[in-house]
Amino acid sequence: MRVSTYHLKRGNVLLCVLCTILVVSVIGGNVLLNCMTRYNAASSQVRGWKESLDAAETGGGHRLAEVRRQFSIPTQLRSAVGRIPAAPTQVPQYLRQGQSK
């Protein structure tokens, strides 16, 4: 029994094509994995930038409201607030109930 050379060449080509597909698939998977890793890192950075921008805008808004509040208080009231003691050190006479005068 004799095997023709045509069938041997045909089987050899099939093996080469399968090996080529395997190599190309491994390379493609590697490239895809690398791209996914870089995309995840970049999206994490963008999320961090957005959060810090929100925090900065919130702090700026609070400070702007504080400045507006300070400028909206009348001048007489502002100067009077500085002279009011935080807590009375002595109880006035009219507040003392039940004590001898």
Residues 10-22: tens digit of each pLDDT: 678 888 899 999 9
What the block records as the tokens of 66 is 């504080």
Given pLDDT bands bounded at 50, 70 and 90, which one contains residue 34? Answer: very high
3-state secondary structure of 74: coil
Measured between alpha carbons, how far is 34 from 27 in angstroms, rounded to an integer?
A: 11
What the block records as the tokens of 15 is 């093996």
Give me the torsion for CA of 27, 33, 39, 42, rounded to 10°: -110
Residues 43-91: tens digit of each pLDDT: 888 888 888 888 888 888 888 888 777 777 665 565 555 555 555 556 6
- 92 compared with 21, residue with greater pLDDT: 21
Domain locations in the chain as residue ranges = 32-80
pTM of structure: 0.42
